[in-house]
Amino acid sequence: MKVLVAVKRVIDYNVKIRVKADNTGVETANVKMSMNPFDEIAVEEAIRMKEKGAATEIIAFSAGPAQCQETIRTALAMGADRGILVQTDADLQPLAVAKLLKAVVDKEQPGLVIVGKQAIDDDSNATGQMLAALLGWSIGTFANKLNVADGSVEVKREVDGGLENIKIKMPAVITTDLRLNEPRYASLPNIMKAKKKPIETLAPDALGVDVAPRLKTLKVEEPPKRKSGIKVKTVAELVEKLRNEAGVI
Amino acid sequence: MAVLVVAAHDGKTVRANVANAVAAAGQMDAEVHVLVAGSNAGEAAKSAAAIQGVAKVLQAEDAAYANWLAEDIAPLVVKLAPNYSHIVMAADSVGKNVAPRAAALLDVAQVSEAIQVVSPDTFVRPIYAGNAMATVQSTDKIKIVTVRPTNFKAAAGGGSATIEQIEGTGSAGLSSFAGAELSKSERPELTSAKIVVSGGRGLQSGENFKMLETLADKLGAGLGASRAAVDAGYVPNDYQVGQTGKVVAPDLYIAIGISGAIQHLAGMKDSKTIVAINKDEEAPIFQVADYGLVGDLFQLVPELTAAIEKK
C-alpha cells in the first residue's frame, strides 16, 4: 500500500511572528521556516507503517513556492521515499490544496493519505476533511492512535470529551493530533541519502486545478494587547485583589 | 435567505455552545434555523427550539446520525444548503470534523473559527495562534462558517420555535462508531466554566494534579492543562487548553506551573482575569497575567486553597 503524506512549509513554531506594517499579512522574509509540526507527525506515522510492513511506499506532497522542496527533503530525510511538489506562488487556501491533493491521489492511488490536523499558520483545520469529501473517502480526524487491518482503519480520535473510537473503510484520509506519535529527527546519513531521492515538480494547471482563493484577505492586524498586570507578594494579597479589585471570587 | 446552524447534541439537549453559534448566526441574517440530526433526537430538538432567535428547528431522524460521523451528516447538510445563505457550526470537535466536509462537497471555502461577524460576508478570524487577526471576505454563494463560541454571547432561552421533521439521507457506509472513552468529571465543562484552574509541567506528576482538583472544587472551577502536562500523561487530552486544544475565556483563569508558550496563550488570553503562579519570574505567562505570584506552587497552591476557604 502506498501512503501519501502532505507537508506544509510554515513559519517555525518558535518564531514570534510580526504583522506587516501595511496590514496585508505576516512578515515571512528572512524568517525561519519549517515543516508544520502536525505534518511531521503524519510523516512519522507513515514511516512507522512502512517499518511494520503495512505500507510499501511513502510519497511526500507539498504545494507552494519552490522552497517547499526543502520541506519535502525533510520528509525524505525522515524516511519518505519520494516527493511531489505542486509549485505555485499563488495564495493557496485549504480548498485549493485539497483539490491539488485529489488530483495527485487520483494519479498515485494511495491506500491512505495522512495530513496534519491543522497548519500552525492559517489554523484552518480543513484540508484533510475537504480532501476526503472530494474523494468520497472516509475520514479519521484528530487521530490519537491508528490500527490498519483488513481494508479498514481503527482510529482513536481526540474529541471534546476525551477519546472516541471509529472504524473507517480504506482508502481513507487521516488527520493527526499531537499524541499520535513523537516524530523522529533525521539522522545525518539519512539527510545525505535524501538528497538523491526524487522530487517531481508539477504545476496546478497541469493538474487541471483552479487555485484561485475563495476568501479575500482584507487585512491582517495585531491582536489587541492585554495591559500588563502586577506581581503580588503573597497569597493573601492575591485573594484580596481577586475579591475586591477583580471581583471574580 | 436564512442561516442554518448545525447543532451537536447528546440526545437530550443540544450542546451549550449552540446558543453561542445561534447568536453569531443572528449577526449574519435575521432568520436562523437549527438542524438537529440524530437518532431519537426529539428532546434535543426541543432544547434547540427553546433558544431565543431560532425561527425553526429541522429535526432529521436517522439511525445513521446517532454518532455524528462526518461521512453521514455532511450529505444532509449539503442537501439543505441551497435554501441557506450561511451554514454555521461551533468550532468544536464536531464542527471541525463536519463543516469542512460539507464545504468541499459544496465547492465552497470554509471560514474557520470566526471570532467576529463584520458583515454577512466578512469575518475576523485568528491566525498564527491568535498572534494576528485576519479579516476575510467570502466570495462564495453559500458561506460555511465555524465560530469560536467564547467570542459570542450565548442567546438566551425561553424561545419557542417550530420543529419540522425532515427526511434523513441514510448512511454512506464508510465508517462506524466503536465506542468512546470520555473523561468523567463532576466539574464544570472547561469551555463554559466561569473559573478555570490549569496546570502545567510544573506540577511534575499526575498525582500532584489532585492539589489543583481540590482548589478547583473550592472555586467551582473547571480543570485544564497545558500541552506539556497532557503530553507527559498527567491528565487526559481533553484537558488541553491552547491553539490546538480548547479555547477558553472564563472570568478567572488560574495558570499554575505553566510557562506560557504562545500556543498555550492562544487558548486562554481572552480570559477576563488571569492569575499566574510560577517559580520562574521570567516565565512568559506573567506577560499576560493580571496578577502574578512568583514562588513554589507546592507551597502556594495549598495556601491559596485554604485562603479561599476562609471567606
If one counts every other C-beta atom within 10 angstroms of the C-beta of residue A182, the result is 10
Of A162, A179, A228, the CB nearest to B180: A162
Does a structural domain hold residue B176? no
Residue A124 in contact with partner chain B when CB distance is under 8 A: yes
Tell if the CB–CB gap between A17 and B132 is shorter than 8 Å. Answer: yes
Residue A163 in contact with partner chain B when CB distance is under 8 A: yes
Of A17, A162, A166, the CB nearest to B176: A166
Q: What's the average model confidence in pLDDT over B12-20?
A: 97
Cell numbers of B115, please? Answer: 471570532
Residues in chain A closer than 8 A to B230 (CB atoms):
178-179
Residue A183 in contact with partner chain B when CB distance is under 8 A: no
If one counts every other C-beta atom within 10 angstroms of the C-beta of residue A8, the result is 25
* pLDDT for position B70: 98
* pLDDT for position B203: 98
Tell if the CB–CB gap between B69 and A220 is shorter than 8 Å. Answer: no
Considering the domain architecture, whether residues B143 and B203 belong to the same structural domain is answered as no
CATH number of the domain bearing residue A30: 3.40.50.620
Residues in chain A closer than 8 A to B113 (CB atoms):
123, 125
C-alpha angle with apex B44: B38 to B49, nearest 5 degrees?
A: 120
How would you write chain A as a 3-class SS string? CEEEEECCEEECCCCCCCECCCCCCECCCCCCEEECHHHHHHHHHHHHHHHCCCCCEEEEEEEECCCHHHHHHHHHHHCCCEEEEEECCCCCCHHHHHHHHHHHHHHHCCCEEEEECCCCCCCCCCHHHHHHHHHCCEEEEEEEEEEEECCEEEEEEEECCEEEEEEEECCEEEEECHHHCCCCCCCHHHHHHHCCCCEEEECCHHHCCCCCCCEEEEEEECCCCCCCCEEECCHHHHHHHHHHHHCCC
What distance in Å separates the CA atoms of residue B197 and residue A115, rounded to the nearest whole number? 33
Residues in chain B closer than 8 A to A123 (CB atoms):
112-113, 125-129, 243
Of B100, B133, B290, the CB nearest to A221: B133
Tell if the CB–CB gap between B101 and A241 is shorter than 8 Å. Answer: no
CATH number of the domain bearing residue B92: 3.40.50.620
Does a structural domain hold residue A243? no
CA torsion angle B51 B99 A175 B168 (round to 10):
90
Considering the domain architecture, whether residues B121 and B17 belong to the same structural domain is answered as yes
CB pairs under 8 A between A and B: 256
Considering the domain architecture, whether residues B99 and B202 belong to the same structural domain is answered as no
Considering the domain architecture, whether residues B156 and B21 belong to the same structural domain is answered as yes
Considering the domain architecture, whether residues B96 and B202 belong to the same structural domain is answered as no
- Is the peptide bond preceding residue B126 cis, with omega within 30 degrees of 0? no
Tell if the CB–CB gap between B291 and A168 is shorter than 8 Å. Answer: no
Task: Categorize the per-residue pLDDT at B107 as very low, low, confident or very high, splitting at 50, 70 and 90.
Answer: very high
Phi, psi dihedral angles at B89 (to 5 degrees): -135, 150
Range of the domain at B215: 190-309
* pLDDT for position A36: 98
B76-92 confidence digits (pLDDT tens): 999 999 999 999 999 99
Give the chain A residue whose CA is nearest to the CA of B302: A235
Per-residue DSSP letter, B207:
T
DSSP-derived pairing of the beta strands B32-38 and B54-61: parallel
Does a structural domain hold residue A121? yes
Does a structural domain hold residue A201? yes
Tell if the CB–CB gap between B180 and A249 is shorter than 8 Å. Answer: no
* pLDDT for position A225: 87
Residue A220 in contact with partner chain B when CB distance is under 8 A: yes
Cell numbers of A70, please? Answer: 526543502
Considering the domain architecture, whether residues B204 and B265 belong to the same structural domain is answered as yes
Total count of domains within chain B = 2
Does a structural domain hold residue A168? yes
* pLDDT for position A226: 86
Considering the domain architecture, whether residues B57 and B123 belong to the same structural domain is answered as yes
% of chain B beyond a pLDDT of 70 = 99
Tell if the CB–CB gap between A93 and B252 is shorter than 8 Å. Answer: no
Total count of domains within chain A = 1
Considering the domain architecture, whether residues B20 and B112 belong to the same structural domain is answered as yes
Residues in chain A closer than 8 A to B105 (CB atoms):
133-134
Q: Is the pLDDT of residue B220 over 80?
A: yes
* pLDDT for position A106: 98
Of B111, B195, B288, the CB nearest to A226: B288
Does a structural domain hold residue A146? yes
B31-83 confidence digits (pLDDT tens): 999 999 999 999 999 999 999 999 999 999 999 999 999 999 999 999 999 99
CA atoms within 13 A on the CB side of B69: 29
Of B96, B219, B231, the CB nearest to A249: B219
Closest-CA distance of chain A to residue B42, Å: 23
This complex has an ipTM of 0.96
Residue A241 in contact with partner chain B when CB distance is under 8 A: yes
What distance in Å separates the CA atoms of residue A51 and residue B238, rounded to the nearest whole number? 30
Q: What's the average model confidence in pLDDT over B256-265?
A: 96
Does a structural domain hold residue A231? no
CATH number of the domain bearing residue B236: 3.40.50.1220
Tell if the CB–CB gap between A236 and B138 is shorter than 8 Å. Answer: no
Considering the domain architecture, whether residues B120 and B160 belong to the same structural domain is answered as yes
Residue A215 in contact with partner chain B when CB distance is under 8 A: yes
Considering the domain architecture, whether residues B140 and B11 belong to the same structural domain is answered as yes
pLDDT along chain A (249 residues), means of 10: 98 95 96 98 98 97 98 98 98 98 98 98 98 98 96 97 97 97 97 98 96 97 91 97 94
Residues in chain B closer than 8 A to A154 (CB atoms):
178
* pLDDT for position A7: 98
Closest-CA distance of chain B to residue A74, Å: 22
Residues in chain B closer than 8 A to A246 (CB atoms):
252, 272-273, 290-291
Residues in chain A closer than 8 A to B134 (CB atoms):
217, 219-220
Residue A167 in contact with partner chain B when CB distance is under 8 A: yes
Give the chain A residue whose CA is nearest to the CA of B276: A231
A17-33 confidence digits (pLDDT tens): 999 999 999 999 999 99
Considering the domain architecture, whether residues B46 and B141 belong to the same structural domain is answered as yes
B124-182 confidence digits (pLDDT tens): 999 999 999 999 999 999 999 999 999 999 999 999 999 999 999 999 999 999 999 99
Q: Where are the beta strands (DSSP E) in chain B?
A: 2-6, 32-38, 54-61, 84-90, 110-114, 116-119, 122-127, 132-138, 143-147, 162-166, 175-182, 195-199, 222-225, 252-256, 273-278, 291-294
What distance in Å separates the CA atoms of residue B89 and residue A158, rounded to the nearest whole number? 19
Of B92, B251, B291, the CB nearest to A241: B291
Does a structural domain hold residue A242? no
Residue A48 in contact with partner chain B when CB distance is under 8 A: no
Q: Name the average pLDDT for chain B.
A: 96
Considering the domain architecture, whether residues B141 and B195 belong to the same structural domain is answered as no
Does a structural domain hold residue B184? no
Task: Categorize the per-residue pLDDT at B309 as very low, low, confident or very high, splitting at 50, 70 and 90.
Answer: confident
Q: Is the pLDDT of residue B266 over 90?
A: yes
Range of the domain at A172: 2-218
Does a structural domain hold residue A67? yes
* pLDDT for position B311: 58
